Structure 1
Amino acid sequence: MKTSICIILVLTLFFSCKDGEKAAMNDKKSSEISQLFYNGDIITVASDQVEYAEAVVEENGKIVFVGSQKDAESKYANARKIDLNGKTLLPGFIDPHSHFGMVSNTMGQVDLNPEPVGTVVNIDDILKKLETFKEDRNIPDGEWIFGWGYDDGELAEKRHPTKRDIDKVLPNNPVYLQHTSGHMGVANTLALEKLNVNAESKSPEGGNIERFPNSKEPTGLVQETAMYPFVGNMLEILAKDQATYFDTTQEYYASNGITTAQDGMTDRNTIRFFQSQADAGKLKIDLVSLAGYAELDSNVKDSTLHFKNYKNGFKVQGTKIVADGSPQGKTAFFTKPFLTEVPGCINDCRGLPSLTQETINALFLTAYENENQLFIHCNGDATVDMIIEAHENACKQLNQALDKDRRTIIIHSQFARMDQLETFVKYNMEPSFFTNHAFFWGDLHVENLGKERAHFLSPMVSAKKLGLNPTNHSDATVTPIDPLFTIWSAVNRVSRSGAVIGDTERTTPYLAIQAITSNAAYEYFEEDLKGSISEGKLADFVILDKNPLKVEPMNIKNIQVLETIKEGKTVFKKE
């Protein structure tokens, strides 16, 4: 009898202790800081079908609940309630392709953009801005001055400025002006002298040094590989200001709802700078870098580069290859010629491949052998053919499957043909489109390429029907960081003149949202981490004042970002 009583007492004490531990754990869980979002349009982007949730709960930077408000309040009774007041909650925007470093560098340059981005109308406006910049900043003679964003197609003169134009106002400063495409620029006389470009200079392979008519004298316009020394010089000079503009740049991205940004081609020193900022705890959003292809051999063997793995919010995802140029600048490489005059070309003007087939083949072979993800800048269809050939060659040489899950990304894919999109499907390649071109240069593309080619630019609808996961980007600084405008351009495809550039390729607002959320996460192999409002994923959100799925399509670009939340923490809030 005594033995039985002792056993009962021991068991009672044992289970009492267990119950106490369980209660303590429950108390601990309920005391953890969590946030419950409700009373708004919560679009999950968790599938190809539009799905709304009544409530979402964030805890410790992750999404722990998606479902009904009643269940959320019952399960997380102590959560801090965030009343959306009818606003719209989406996954944080993921930037499929832009140039974080270049955006930062523009803060130390003259803004030469035309409307609606800037105010430049003609070459005189450019010259006045250059003069004012030198005066306002007290820049001494001999010091470099840089400008960005001019667009010859939008200037009243319909031409590039020349060195003679710039020399009129800044004869004693070396000056380099970057074209809006990022694929060419104009240098004045002193800048050309400093970089040893003269009448005897030959155009490099994959580039062009433009000359005055009936002369060997350079005009100052350098295109594609001919501009590389000027851009390299500019980046080296502006590097001293990287830290100054770093915080402002990421705040700019965050203010546009972006929780993951990209630097679309990064040299080794800048990679180290970004990592140093991340290690110092300065990153409020995630930053993904693409290493430059010039150092591919050494990059893949450098253990200090954190490929595919974040370290304090920064990672190097893969390698960027520039394979051709700009369609509006007439340096993209096509199988059929441009229909209008091309600077530096007399006949069969189809643009320029930036690299030979042999070089591209070698880069693919190195990358695929080392499991390095490739991101290739391709605008013209002839360049896409070169990329497909390089892919096939590398797979054959390495005895790898053509459809291995490498997620080789064809950046821009502006004028990919339907047969090439079908090949993307077979080879597990993905396009990252650029529908902003429909607005900014759609009219020009119709003129330069003809209606058939121009109207099939960035064919998102066709890609989606084939089963691809297209993304859509700004390519900033080429067009501004503005995801709502990117959604707008994909849905409407309206040009500056109001013409519709490819009616059949107008997307639904939902597909346009997928392109900068779930599909963008897939591009980075982050579909299990980001891109949708799903349990277990990071609590990366953007709150909008209106729902892009419910407003008139032409009003989408007017929607405002009210708040950006990265892993549960507000990194931007509109005042």
Structure 2
Amino acid sequence: MKHIFYNAIILLCLFGCKDEAKPEVSVEYDSQLFYNGDIITMESDQPEYEEALVEQKGKIVFVGSKAEAELLFKNSELIDLKGKTLLPGFIDPHSHFGMVSNTMGQVNLNPEPVGDVSNIDDMLNRLKAYKEDNKIADGEWIFGWGYDDGQLDEKRHPTKRDIDKVLPDNPVYLQHTSGHMGVANTLALERLDVTAESKNPEGGSIERFPNSKEPTGLVQETAMYPFVGNMFQLLEPKQAEFFDSTQSYYASNGFTTAHDGMTDRNTIAFFQAQADAGKLDIDLIALAGYTELESNLADSTLHFKTYKNGFKVQGTKIVADGSPQGKTAFFTKPFLTEVPGCESDCKGLPSLTQDYLNNLFEMAYKKDNQLFIHCNGDATIDMVIEAHEKACETLNQPLDKNRRTIIIHSQFVRPDQLDTFVMYNLEPSFFTNHAYFWGDEHVKNLGEGRANFLSPMVSADHLGLKPTNHSDATVTPIDPLFTIWTAVNRVSRSGAVIGEAERATPYLAVKAITCNAAYEFFEQDIKGTLTKGKLADLVILDKNPLKVEPMEIKNIQVLETLKEGVVIYQKQK
């Protein structure tokens, strides 16, 4: 009877249900197997390719032949790359995540290719339209970002009088593209108590009209700090609103680890709160500000170098000089062109004294706190080397201890200073985007010799250093393929080559934002290469930057970004 009953059930299923759709079978895979593309491991000094990579539970568990991968991981979802390129997720060596977020509440005043501002009238029209379009009341602050005096038709900074013509009833502060200066209008100067009687602060400058004490509105270096601090404070309530958009922007460019290059305590707390609430899709690394170094080191709740829910404070950022295009970087030899506010022997200026810098190094080295020092000019790098030497001597520490002190930008480092980097175990994080954006200006301002040795990645690599390369966003755009392009081609806006001998290979340029960047943050054991046991932080590109024509690299598209095996960005088809 049981046999007949079962046969009846089978017949009912075969004939009674024949017109019904078959239910979809849901297959649960326990891993992903990537194949049929250029899988570049980034593990060695020369490019190495593998047939397949397997991700499981957020980790890379296999890299090798496809046949072996299929044999070992039979329950894998097969991901056909269809000839595309798979690389480790990009690691951002230096940008300003918070500032990128803040620009979403400001007026875009950038020239091409970031914006379309050509002259001061364009700027004024943008500001006026912004007030009207956003119904901003009189008395409320208005901020703009990205203007570049060197790219304006007038070849000068706007003044407070220019801005007053269109916005006399709003305090206005416009941040220069370098991030090292800005222009305030009359009402903004009054709000922050900058008058004809104000003295230049240590490491800063308040520009005056000719033959007058009256401020023009241009504030440089430490003189701009009150204006930037005020801007951050006023935009702080919008941080949460822009946070998701900002990390999505980084992910869309292939970054699985983002960076905030100088972060105050309030913003550190905000980032940690976002991370603890599960809102981080990517890893975020912050650097605490040097003005809070002593209190930070004494704070037992601030655990440097340790991730908590995808966020960590890696070390401390020191700003030691200004910008070369803004002529506030500190050099041993003078600029060759006129410098605003300086009459002779104009070499720029350091942002702090040697004694202060020495003290910062000693405090940090005593507590094994990693330092990241903004240095553009060679005179500033000399100051850093001296501070390093003095701290090591005072603390009786080896000069070449593996601290990974990072010299951010190192734009105009001298060859002898690179040799010292090797001896002292210091590492440079370069900024080759300058070759495109301001290479022509550097040739005029500094001469071909200095300009052509800008961000010397090839020389650094030949010496055995592990150079990284960054965007410094918002100074230049978050676009790693463009950064690779500038490292490889070093072509300026005019088409001139800025330092033929320092043109990097595409492979070295990719190393600078993968394995070398992981090393910079002491993360070489978990990120930066496609190696078994590391995080499955991955990026898929439509073309291979090692195989296309060098001038085409900037046109390569990010198709997909995966954080620990999970897709966090996919380009719309």
TM-score range, shorter chain: over 0.9
> How big is the shift at 1:303?
2.2
Measure, in 1, the Cα distance between the counterparts of 2:509 and 2:300.
37
Measure, in 2, the Cα distance between the counterparts of 1:284 and 1:301.
31
Task: Tell me if structure 2 keeps the 8 A contact 1:32–1:59.
Answer: no
Residue 373 of structure 1: aligned partner: 370
Task: Tell me if structure 2 keeps the 8 A contact 1:286–1:313.
Answer: yes
Measure, in 2, the Cα distance between the counterparts of 1:325 and 1:109.
23
Measure, in 2, the Cα distance between the counterparts of 1:144 and 1:535.
52
Residue 244 of structure 1: aligned partner: 241
1:180-216 CA distance string (max 9 Å, x none): 0000000000000000001000111100000000110
> How big is the shift at 1:304?
2.2
Question: Which residue of 464, 472, 476 maps to 1:475?
Answer: 472
**In the alignment, is residue 178 of structure 1 matched against residue 180 of structure 2?**
no
**In the alignment, is residue 363 of structure 1 matched against residue 365 of structure 2?**
no
Measure, in 1, the Cα distance between the counterparts of 2:82 and 2:513.
25
Residue 255 of structure 1: aligned partner: 252
Task: Tell me if structure 2 keeps the 8 A contact 1:96–1:432.
Answer: yes
Question: Which residue of 235, 242, 262 maps to 2:232?
Answer: 235
1:19-70 CA distance string (max 9 Å, x none): xxxxxxxxxxx97620000000000001111100100000000000000000
Question: Which residue of 269, 276, 286 maps to 1:289?
Answer: 286
Task: Tell me if structure 2 keeps the 8 A contact 1:57–1:64.
Answer: yes
Measure, in 2, the Cα distance between the counterparts of 1:175 and 1:36.
54
- Secondary structure of 1:430's counterpart equals strand
Residue 563 of structure 1: aligned partner: 560
Measure, in 1, the Cα distance between the counterparts of 2:484 and 2:163.
37
List structure 1 runs of 4+ shifted beyond 4 angstroms: none
1:540 counterpart letter in structure 2? D
Measure, in 1, the Cα distance between the counterparts of 2:253 and 2:377.
30
1:116 counterpart letter in structure 2? P
- Secondary structure of 2:298's counterpart equals coil
Measure, in 2, the Cα distance between the counterparts of 1:305 and 1:119.
43
Residue 506 of structure 1: aligned partner: 503
Residue 14 of structure 2: aligned partner: none
Residue 392 of structure 1: aligned partner: 389
Residue 133 of structure 2: aligned partner: 136
1:399-442 CA distance string (max 9 Å, x none): 00000000000000000000000000000000000000000000
Residue 89 of structure 1: aligned partner: 86
Residue 7 of structure 2: aligned partner: none
TM-score, normalised relative to structure 1: 0.95
2:203 counterpart letter in structure 1? G
> How big is the shift at 1:302?
1.4
Measure, in 1, the Cα distance between the counterparts of 2:459 and 2:46.
18
2:235 counterpart letter in structure 1? L
Task: Tell me if structure 1 keeps the 8 A contact 2:54–2:63.
Answer: yes
Residue 487 of structure 1: aligned partner: 484
Measure, in 2, the Cα distance between the counterparts of 1:31 and 1:554.
43
- Secondary structure of 1:538's counterpart equals coil
Residue 317 of structure 1: aligned partner: 314
Question: Which residue of 520, 523, 527 maps to 2:524?
Answer: 527
Measure, in 1, the Cα distance between the counterparts of 2:144 and 2:332.
33
Question: Which residue of 54, 72, 77 maps to 2:74?
Answer: 77
Measure, in 1, the Cα distance between the counterparts of 2:98 and 2:30.
35
1:365 counterpart letter in structure 2? E
**In the alignment, is residue 458 of structure 1 matched against residue 460 of structure 2?**
no
Change (3 A) 1:364 1:514: same
1:448-471 CA distance string (max 9 Å, x none): 000000000000000000000000
Residue 408 of structure 1: aligned partner: 405
1:267-297 CA distance string (max 9 Å, x none): 0000000000000000000000000000000
Task: Tell me if structure 1 keeps the 8 A contact 2:29–2:77.
Answer: no
**In the alignment, is residue 278 of structure 1 matched against residue 269 of structure 2?**
no
Task: Tell me if structure 2 keeps the 8 A contact 1:100–1:249.
Answer: yes
> How big is the shift at 1:305?
1.8
Measure, in 2, the Cα distance between the counterparts of 1:32 and 1:165.
63
Residue 433 of structure 1: aligned partner: 430
Task: Tell me if structure 2 keeps the 8 A contact 1:203–1:226.
Answer: yes
Alignment RMSD = 0.8
Residue 210 of structure 2: aligned partner: 213
Question: Which residue of 332, 340, 345 maps to 1:335?
Answer: 332
Higher alpha-carbon deviation: 424-433 or 31-40: 31-40
> How big is the shift at 1:301?
1.8
1:141-196 CA distance string (max 9 Å, x none): 00000000000000000000000000000000000000000000000000000000
How many residues align structurally?
546
1:252 counterpart letter in structure 2? Y
- What pairs up with 1:63-212 in 2 under 5 angstroms? 63-212=60-209
Give structure 1 stretches of 5+ with no counterpart.
Answer: 1-29
Task: Tell me if structure 2 keeps the 8 A contact 1:109–1:146.
Answer: yes
Measure, in 1, the Cα distance between the counterparts of 2:296 and 2:35.
46
Residue 10 of structure 2: aligned partner: none
- Secondary structure of 2:347's counterpart equals coil
1:40 counterpart letter in structure 2? G
Measure, in 2, the Cα distance between the counterparts of 1:290 and 1:275.
13
2:411 counterpart letter in structure 1? Q
Give structure 2 stretches of 5+ with no counterpart.
Answer: 1-26
Higher alpha-carbon deviation: 32-41 or 312-321: 32-41
Measure, in 1, the Cα distance between the counterparts of 2:412 and 2:178.
16
> How big is the shift at 1:229?
0.4
Measure, in 1, the Cα distance between the counterparts of 2:301 and 2:533.
29
